[in-house]
Structure 1
Amino acid sequence: MKVVISDIARQAGVSSGTVSNAINNRKGISEQKRQAILKIARDMGYFDQREIKKTENQKIKFVIMNKQGNVVGDTPFFSELIRGIEMECSTLGYELVISHTTLALNEEPMDTIRPEMADGLLLLGTELEKADLDAFRDIGVPLVILDTVFNAQDFDFVAINNRDSAYQIVEKMIAKGHRDIGIINSTFQINNFRERKQGFLQAIQDHDLIHYEETEALVEPTLEGSYQDMKIYLESMVADNRPLPSAFFAVNDNIAIGAMKAIKEIQSSNQVTIVGFDDIPLAEFCSPPLTTVKVDKVYLGRQAVRRLIEKITTEDTNHIKMLLGTTIVERESIQIKKD
């Protein structure tokens, strides 16, 4: 019979968390107690079965879930994310299997995902909503959801700290003297974009500024789509004789770069500050180069794999939400506000 952490915990008279700390050499436990727990684990054959498992063909399945295909795609962001996942799987001795699937009406995603064929499942949650998570309860293998996080949900999440990151870059615009700051948002909403808008609004509120609904432009989240939609938005502002904000926060770089082109055409005599989010390669080479939030996509992928393997190897039934910090890359698109 397979020995699990709870079996060792019962034998040792401690909690499963204490056993996990002892096995993984974490802090919070005395050396005497650690050695006592490790002896019980050895006597029960726990480490023997782990060695046997290491010799088997261990697999992690990475499921790329597309609902609409409006955000997830063949982009530098997701390419780097996958590279990080591949690197960590290779380092830790796991085979990576990548699966693409969709969530459609009257379709059971587990029929195509087949989680039982892997030791654990990584799920790209970028386009998922909270209700979509119901399909992934009780799937029978460890699961980590990547690139989104929802409140009050018993899953493991590894994601970007979208809210704080947006707050920080908006605060940088405020420090440059901007008081009238708009937001360029996506017509197709995902949880990450909602979190970034919340960070934007919190920064505005904390600095005693006001956000006006008419200074939120809604655009398609592609380079061409954001360019066309931003032109329409700007032309309507001009037609209605409404002043343009001196700065805009865009919820991702594709949107920022497309919108920047439209702003240059409509407002060529007066440069408007614009910042983005993600730091895709094109951000450095557009005109002007884009100030943006840098996300370490490779690290994000690697951390998700590490958490999943921790769940696989220790039978850890706890749930964590890991939010990765970001850095701001300042380039020429952010300007000091002149009176």
Structure 2
Amino acid sequence: MKMDDIARLAGVSKAAVSLAFSGKPGIGPETRERILQIARENGYQPKARASLREQQAGSITFLVFANSGIVLEEYYQQPFFRELLHYIEERCRSHGYSLLYTSADMGSVQENLRAISGEKRSEGIILLGTNLDKALLEQVAAQWKGPLVVLDTCFETLPIPFVHINNILGGYQAGSHLCGLGHRHIGYIASDIRIRNFDDRRAGFMQALQENGVELAAENAFSVAPTILSSQESLKKQLSAYLEKGHAMPTAFFCECDYIAISAIKSLTELGYRVPADISVVGFDNISEARIITPELTTIHVEKERMAQLSVDMIMDIIQSDSAVTAKILVDTHLVERMSTAEPGAERS
């Protein structure tokens, strides 16, 4: 039996079969399991293509609880996570390790971790924590006894290693930037799905406004889906209803992530507003799409490469030293000023 036969029996492409065998992202967990099951039933063994160095090296598992909140099932296609994965894989390779990819079910933590342990292919887990709460992280730590590092969230009261964004600083930098430009009538566009990162960004933003004597009026806060890059009817309806009540449109908006910011720019443009001549917009994350949108997006840069390097180096240190000491690393952000912000009412060529 050949790989083409497996693809035909599974009703998928040969490329999908290759992704299933390699453990790389690109197909859903159900498709991957169906392909592997067909291969087992037919006694098919994929040919080893790894170099001698790769065969001798260990493996790290990148574990994601996908299709929950902001982390979609095809998370590897979302710009922020795509960049993180690229840097993590590069760092693993520099240590002589390969990176395996596993998507898990929120309701089957024990079974998923038992499967990883049973395969005996992974020496440790880098867990994407973006959409995870404290209770689930406690459950993972209790079930998985091996090396573990959680990336992109942090709970200070858990004795687990974390590598996290300084979201409070990022929100503070965004607020300080808008206040520094002279904006006083400021709006806030939040995600309608709440995670720790967004709450921290709001806290930092509010602190900057308070220090500058600016108040965020309750009616100036809106919420939208955080994973849509196109304009959103829900936002246009919220803004239209806001105007119908006699409110003046804010001169600037802070958005909790770049997805929301890009969607907001498109929505505002369709409503007849010019960015930044009429309204300034600031995002958060500095995804690659921030440079493609017109105007280019002013945003808070997240050191995704540095976070990836730190998470891999930390788990390697745990593997090699077998240390019980845990640490939490907070990675600072910085503002990237582009063309989507200006002084209130300023024309910009």
TM-score tier after normalising by the smaller chain length: 0.7 to 0.9
Determine if the alignment matches structure 1 residue 337 to structure 2 residue 344.
yes
Alignment partner, residue 286 of structure 2: 279
Unaligned residue ranges in structure 1 (runs of 5+): 1-53
The Cα offsets for residues 309-339 of structure 1, whole Å up to 9 and x where unpaired, read as: 0111112211211111122111111011249
Q: Summarize the alignment of residues 198-237 of structure 1 with structure 2, pairs less than 5 Å apart.
A: 198-223=203-228, 227-237=232-242
**1:214, distance to aligned residue in structure 2 (A):** 1.3
Alignment partner, residue 156 of structure 1: 161
CA distance in 1, matches of 2:71, 2:248: 31
Letter in 2 for 1:101: A
Letter in 2 for 1:127: N
Letter in 1 for 2:168: R
Structure number with larger C-alpha Rg: 1
Moved more, 286-295 or 105-114: 105-114
Letter in 1 for 2:298: T
2:92 is matched with which residue: 78, 89, 92?
Answer: 89
The Cα offsets for residues 255-304 of structure 1, whole Å up to 9 and x where unpaired, read as: 10111111122242662011001111221121211100112322211110
Q: Summarize the alignment of residues 60-99 of structure 1 with structure 2, pairs less than 5 Å apart.
A: 60-68=60-68, 70-72=70-72, 73=75, 74-99=77-102
Letter in 2 for 1:142: P
Structure 1 counterpart SS, 2:103: strand
Structure 2 counterpart SS, 1:141: coil
RMSD of equivalent CA atoms: 2.2
- Equivalent pair of 1:227/1:260 in contact (CA under 8 Å): no
**1:249, distance to aligned residue in structure 2 (A):** 0.5
Alignment partner, residue 324 of structure 1: 331
- Equivalent pair of 1:109/1:135 in contact (CA under 8 Å): no
User: Which contiguous aligned blocks of 4+ residues in structure 1 show a shift greater than 6 angstroms?
Assistant: none
CA distance in 1, matches of 2:342, 2:261: 15
**1:106, distance to aligned residue in structure 2 (A):** 8.6
- Equivalent pair of 1:71/1:221 in contact (CA under 8 Å): no
CA distance in 1, matches of 2:55, 2:266: 55
TM-score when normalising by structure 1: 0.79
Moved more, 156-165 or 129-138: 129-138
- Equivalent pair of 2:116/2:122 in contact (CA under 8 Å): no
The Cα offsets for residues 74-97 of structure 1, whole Å up to 9 and x where unpaired, read as: 112111101111111111111211
TM-score when normalising by structure 2: 0.76
Taking every aligned residue pair, what percent have the same amino acid on both sides?
A: 33
Q: Summarize the alignment of residues 285-296 of structure 1 with structure 2, pairs less than 5 Å apart.
A: 285-296=292-303
Structure 1 counterpart SS, 2:285: coil
Letter in 2 for 1:70: I
Number of aligned residue pairs: give it: 286
- Equivalent pair of 1:67/1:103 in contact (CA under 8 Å): no
- Equivalent pair of 1:234/1:266 in contact (CA under 8 Å): no
Alignment partner, residue 186 of structure 1: 191
CA distance in 2, matches of 1:142, 1:106: 16
Determine if the alignment matches structure 1 residue 132 to structure 2 residue 136.
yes
- Equivalent pair of 2:273/2:279 in contact (CA under 8 Å): no
Structure 1 counterpart SS, 2:157: coil
CA distance in 2, matches of 1:336, 1:112: 55
**1:104, distance to aligned residue in structure 2 (A):** 2.2
The structure-2 alpha-carbon separation of the partners of 1:55 and 1:112, relative to structure 1 and needing over 3 Å to count, comes to: closer
Unaligned residue ranges in structure 2 (runs of 5+): 1-53
The structure-2 alpha-carbon separation of the partners of 1:237 and 1:82, relative to structure 1 and needing over 3 Å to count, comes to: same
**1:105, distance to aligned residue in structure 2 (A):** 6.9
The Cα offsets for residues 224-272 of structure 1, whole Å up to 9 and x where unpaired, read as: 5762221111111111111221111101111101111111222426620
The structure-2 alpha-carbon separation of the partners of 1:71 and 1:216, relative to structure 1 and needing over 3 Å to count, comes to: farther
Structure 1 counterpart SS, 2:182: coil
Alignment partner, residue 104 of structure 1: 107
Q: Summarize the alignment of residues 221-260 of structure 1 with structure 2, pairs less than 5 Å apart.
A: 221-223=226-228, 227-260=232-265
The Cα offsets for residues 102-159 of structure 1, whole Å up to 9 and x where unpaired, read as: 2027974424443854211110011101111122123211110001111211111001
